[in-house]
Structure 1
Amino acid sequence: MRSLLLTLAITLSGFLSISQTQGISYTAVGRGVATSFVTDYHTLGINSSALGWGNEYGKNTTMGTTEFNLGFYSDSLNADKLKSLYRTIRNDIREENQNPDDWQQQQQNARDYLESGIAIDASCNWLGMAYYNKKLGGIAFNIGEHYNWYSQLGQQASSLIFEGRLSNYFDQLTVVFGTDTTMIQNNGNISQDTLDAVIEGTATVPLQLSELTNGSRIKFTWNRHYNIGYGRKILGDDSTFAIYGGIGGRFIQSMAMMDVQSDENGIRAYSAFSPSYNLNYGSVASLNPSNFTGGGAIPKPVGTGYGLDFSASARIGGFLTLSAAVNNIGSVTYTRNVYTVNDTLVTTFNLTGLEDANVTNSVENLLEEGGLFTLEGQESYKVTNAANFRLGGHLDLWKIVKLGIDVVAPFDRDHPGSLANAVYSFGGEVRPIKWLSLSAGYFGGGIYAHNIPVGINFILGGGTYEFGISSRDALTFFLDGSNSISAAFGFARVRF
């Protein structure tokens, strides 16, 4: 797998953002609020009742593609590390001379990210379409990709991931020179040539896996959603009081899932990865009833499921909108490459440590043959979706200013892909001229501290075409203590 941080830096030059509370809506990212603001296919997974009032441009049909979001958050991230990361990767891409210690520093930064906690959220809209009719209401569909990673490792687990078989947890090292195999003491005074010849680390006083990983947590999902939603007015008149209702659903294909929790009660872990990850499970794969090796240009799913959305909105006096929604109620059942983990003594380790700053490559050191985990195949595993509850509202003032609030809370934060805690936000947009929308806001909660989202959107031809860019946290570019990198981009949205 390609270095995530390299991909991150390359993508930052074009289009990025965090997606857990605004979905694929790049316009909502810049406001920080979404529930009562979104329209057309952007409502899917947020507030499908908003399909019932169409859009403000009087267009019946909206189509869109090329919308991307990607975000990165860690308590260890700051402006200096971000600048260092950008400079190092820029020089590497340009093949310019650079300090050979730069990548080693990035690896140390990545280790800091893992120990303090790191969240990566991304989404992509491959295709979206919505149709509105005043009499029938609105219907929308879209195909989207969603990637959510959160990990926090204890110090010993982090050492094993980054140092591999050379970790100081192992007091003996097996070294091979030609046909000569020797076991030496791992005393810290070993030449680089000898370290390069190490094939295995051995602990003569081994600990249980749960002891080594105590305090560690990994939650990861990579899902493809096929969404559909419908919304309409139930009763009333917008100028006085009107009630809207909406329902939505999705078919979910999951390409990867990992759920690890290690604490004083032991370790609990399940995983399922598409063959496109090229994980070498070794001999345990042949004993796994869900073993799957099918390949292809497009990653094959290892699980399928569904999610249901329910929402309602009230529009009052032509200037106030209130909305509430429950989204993604359902589950995904994994039936391919499903593994659980046995809490065994960790005596030997064969793999090298991470060779780059890609923290998500820790999956290989955990799951592959000779790695940290002792796996056992499973026939299937069912995961409840990362469902959420939303409550929001906004004021429409003088037709040029909108101000709103949002609260988004998880049903169960322990489910893979869930928010860590409730996220609260307020924000809005102003249109100084009819073809320009400027947005800003504030949000906190979840795993985030204090973020200031900003965005700019261009609306051409009376709403016929629009594009824009936004960031979930403008503070990243101005304050040394900011903890996130984010941006969102939408290029091809048309209405007719």
Structure 2
Amino acid sequence: MSCRTVASFISLFLATTAAVQAQTELGNFSNVARGGVATTFVTDFQAIGINPANLGRNDNARVAFTIGEVGVGVGSQALTRTQLRKFIEDSGEELNMAQKQEMARTFTSDNVLNLNVDATPVAFSVVLPMVGSFAFSSRQRVTTHLGLNKNTAELLWLGKDAPIYPANFNPATAPLVSEVLEGTSIQMAAYNEYNLAYGRQVLSLPAFVLSVGAGYRYIQGVGVVDVRSKDGQLEAYSALSPQFNVDYGSVVNNPSFNLQKDTDKLLQPVGRGHGYDVGIAAEVGKKLRLGASVTDIGQMTWEGNLLTANDQKLKRLRSNGADSYEFFSELADIFASGTDSLFQYKPAQERKASLPTKFRAGAGIRVGSRLEVGADVTMPLNDVAGNIPAAFYGVALDVKPLSWIRLSTGVTSGAGYGMGIPVGFAIATKVYELGFGTRDLRGLLSDERPYASVAMGTLRFKIGTVK
């Protein structure tokens, strides 16, 4: 495997960020405008992946569809906005030893970098009387999380001069890599999904309506890199599509290596999986809404171009560490199976990994036809590549100064991004909707803990109403 595997992976994602100029964690501009608060707000196809039970609500359209909603976000709890821009733009500025030491201190954080890319080429929903509501969507997701402990940050920026290496360093008595990297997390994953969801009412009383729903998704794994050390346990593996153009060298001759060769396919997966969502939603009176769901239940099976690494004693690096803001190549040299890697990767036939399962709960209140307020909490139920690194909390509101204009805002916290103030604008008539939103206005303007995000869509339609 080329020593630039991880670099290629990150660089591709950052190139996508620069090209799309958008952000979303949940894949549509309405949810981003509320900062991800969505459990009681979403209807129609928007309920996919959030709470499929909302498909059973009375305010769904008979038919609804959207084309080409997309978003991207990149942020850091450790870097300044100026530093983050330099890393993305890669000015080529060479750093001296003092600057590299400063970078090592800055990168000592469990939230150095978070990146999310989410695109929905097409989604639609339809209500069938006496049967229930069905929804379908095609979706592409990319998630990246980078957190480094002090040792890892110093190895990245100082290389062989890192303090972990004493003057009399002896490889025979060196600590295990798992000890050196304790608390480090380098996680990147890319998926292509096909979602199907169903919801319907199961109880309808004058002051109480109850709906249930379920969803299924078939997932194609485009690529994954997962390197983590926690409580003395090391996990390190990767599986990347041939589109990443990785040079695996002599490992292709190993009979245990399931080589996936490049084809004419636009997207060639190296993993497959099945995911499930379940949810429940209630309407109490005409104002109060409640909802809860568990999403992304299931697992992925990675089998193409799969490489894994076991724990071993720390070896001394040969490089001087990253010499410029383009640190991705050095990151790859250390954690991929290049000539200066800390690991010895070996081919494997199959690796199963749980999907990023989450629990979501929310409550909302409608005040007339012009104002709706909601609160959400989302908890990660496992620690895998692609999941949010911490719990998310948020309060949001939609207000309509005119019947066809919707303004959204709120306050959110967690999920690796700190506090956020989302804002959004939409033109929303009974049949057509367009809009845009940013997850955190503060993150766009502040130099500390920057978070740049925006999501947009222009082709969302609704036809008919459910009585």
- TM-score, scaled to structure 1: 0.80
The one-letter amino acid of 1:445's match is: G
Match of 2:375 in 1: 405
Match of 1:168 in 2: 161
Q: Give the alignment partner of residue 44 of structure 2, picking from 40, 46, 51.
A: 40
Structure 2 spans left out of the alignment, 5+ residues:
1-7
Task: Name the SS of the counterpart of 1:449 in structure 2.
Answer: coil
Work out whether 1:68 is the aligned partner of 2:70: yes
Work out whether 1:148 is the aligned partner of 2:143: yes
Match of 2:293 in 1: 325
Match of 1:115 in 2: 108
The one-letter amino acid of 2:431's match is: T
Distance 1:109 1:430 in 2: 45
Task: Name the SS of the counterpart of 1:215 in structure 2.
Answer: coil
1:145–1:81 CA distance, 2 compared to 1 (3 A): same
Aligned alpha-carbon RMSD (Å): 3.3
The one-letter amino acid of 2:63's match is: T
Q: Give the alignment partner of residue 308 of structure 1, picking from 276, 281, 293.
A: 276
Match of 1:477 in 2: 444
Match of 1:374 in 2: 344
Task: Name the SS of the counterpart of 2:335 in structure 1.
Answer: helix
Deviates more, 1:342-351 or 1:473-482: 342-351
Distance 1:213 1:103 in 2: 24
Match of 1:299 in 2: 267
Work out whether 1:438 is the aligned partner of 2:447: no
- What are the residue-to-residue correspondences of 1:57-456 with 2, within 5 Å? 59-81=61-83, 85=86, 89=89, 101=93, 114-116=107-109, 117=111, 118-162=113-157, 167-168=160-161, 205=171, 207=174, 208-237=176-205, 240-263=207-230, 265-287=232-254, 289-296=256-263, 297-347=265-315, 357=325, 362-363=331-332, 365-370=334-339, 371-412=341-382, 414-456=383-425
Question: Could you tell me how far 1:320 is from its partner in structure 2?
Answer: 1.5
Asked if structure 2 preserves the Cα contact closer than 8 Å seen for 1:225 and 1:252, the reply is yes
Question: Could you tell me how far 1:352 is from its partner in structure 2?
Answer: 8.8
Asked if structure 1 preserves the Cα contact closer than 8 Å seen for 2:260 and 2:270, the reply is no
Structure 1 spans left out of the alignment, 5+ residues:
93-98, 173-186, 188-202
Question: Could you tell me how far 1:269 is from its partner in structure 2?
Answer: 1.7
Task: Name the SS of the counterpart of 1:448 in structure 2.
Answer: coil
Task: Name the SS of the counterpart of 2:161 in structure 1.
Answer: coil
The one-letter amino acid of 2:202's match is: I
Distance 2:438 2:360 in 1: 21
Match of 2:30 in 1: 27
1:63–1:358 CA distance, 2 compared to 1 (3 A): farther
Q: Kindly name which structure, 1 or 2, has the bigger radius of gyration based on alpha carbons.
A: 1
Distance 1:146 1:106 in 2: 35
Distance 1:351 1:292 in 2: 30
Task: Name the SS of the counterpart of 2:309 in structure 1.
Answer: strand
Task: Name the SS of the counterpart of 2:219 in structure 1.
Answer: strand
Distance 2:94 2:320 in 1: 20
Distance 1:356 1:277 in 2: 24
Question: Could you tell me how far 1:253 is from its partner in structure 2?
Answer: 0.8
Match of 1:16 in 2: 23
Distance 2:29 2:99 in 1: 29
1:418–1:477 CA distance, 2 compared to 1 (3 A): closer
The one-letter amino acid of 2:75's match is: Y
The one-letter amino acid of 1:49's match is: A
The one-letter amino acid of 1:383's match is: A
Distance 2:156 2:243 in 1: 22
Task: Name the SS of the counterpart of 1:283 in structure 2.
Answer: helix
Number of residue pairs matched?
A: 445
Distance 2:95 2:125 in 1: 46
